[in-house]
Structures are given as structure tokens and as C-alpha cells.
Amino acid sequence: MIRPARADEVGWVAETVIAAFRPYAVRIGREPAPMTADHAALVAADEVHIAEEAGERLGLIVMRGEADHLFIDIIAVRPEAQHRGIGRGLMAFAETEAQRFGLGALRLYTNALMTENLRFYPRLGFHRTGARSEHGFERIFFEKRLG
């Protein structure tokens, strides 16, 4: 089940993002942007959705509608729940939401040093649209056009 995050879950959201992205901090040499995001503001803006199974919170996705696409800002799965299809389920949810709102694409970016993501997103039908340095991070941009 995937549902909107509640205001009382901001702490859990922050903890989950930090736990999921902590391994990348060493690789990148600093905390990835999702770790320092304003999680309370994202929850308040209704941009955070939580994946649950049997009442246990396993992961989350932060997304928002733009003029012609759905932007996926953060996807984070608790370390103990990784490699169980939670991330794929969250991405499928994002695709369904984009189609529900009549948006023609999903867009996202990832850090160039998060090499796992560089393989994961193409397997889900995303194609690379560019690369650039932003805010001190080397970012790779992806898009998935929806039919």
C-alpha cells in the first residue's frame, strides 16, 4: 500500500532518507542532497508518499507535478527492506499518478556516483537526458515518456 505521509511522520521520513542515503555520503564525500532536504516542508506540501506492508513503513517517494511531467525528487527504501521490489513499486506508483494527472513523462536526476541508480532507472524504461554540475553535485538526468 502506498499512501500520503502524515505530519506526525516527518521524523520517520527524515530517518529513512538518512538511512537510505548514508552509504552514498562516503562515496560522494558529503551528504547527498536528499539527506539535507526540508522533510517537514515536503510532507506539508503533500509531496511524500509512504510504502507500507502489513502496517510496516518500508520506503517513500517524494514527487510533485510540474507543467508537463511528474518530477521524482527522492526515493528512499529502508536498508533492511531493500532488494524486495519496494523501489520498483514506488516508481510504478509515480507512473500511475503521472498518468492520472495527464502528465506525459516522469523526470528525475541522480548523483553520478550513485552508480546503482545509473543501472536501475534504465531498467525501468528511463533514458538519460543530460548531465551537469549543480550545487556542487555531478548529476545525471533521466526521463521516461508515458504512452
What is the pTM (predicted TM-score) of this model? Answer: 0.94
Q: Give dist(CA 91, CA 76) in Å, integer.
A: 11
Domain 2-106 matching CATH 3.40.630.30: the answer reads: yes
Checking if the pLDDT of 35 tops 90, the result is: yes
Q: Report domain extents, the chain.
A: 2-106
Q: What pLDDT shows up at residue 147?
A: 81
Q: What does the pLDDT look like over 88-120, one tens digit per residue?
A: 999 999 999 999 999 999 999 999 999 999 999
Percent of the chain with pLDDT over 90: 97
Percent of the chain with pLDDT over 70: 100
Q: Give dist(CA 29, CA 24) in Å, integer.
A: 8
Beta-bridged to residue 48, according to DSSP, are 62
Q: What is the mean pLDDT of the chain?
A: 96
Q: What pLDDT shows up at residue 43?
A: 98
- Tell me how crowded residue 137 is: count the other CB atoms within 10 A of its CB: 16
Q: What pLDDT shows up at residue 80?
A: 94
Q: What does the pLDDT look like over 47-99, one tens digit per residue?
A: 999 999 999 999 999 999 999 999 999 999 999 999 999 999 999 999 999 99
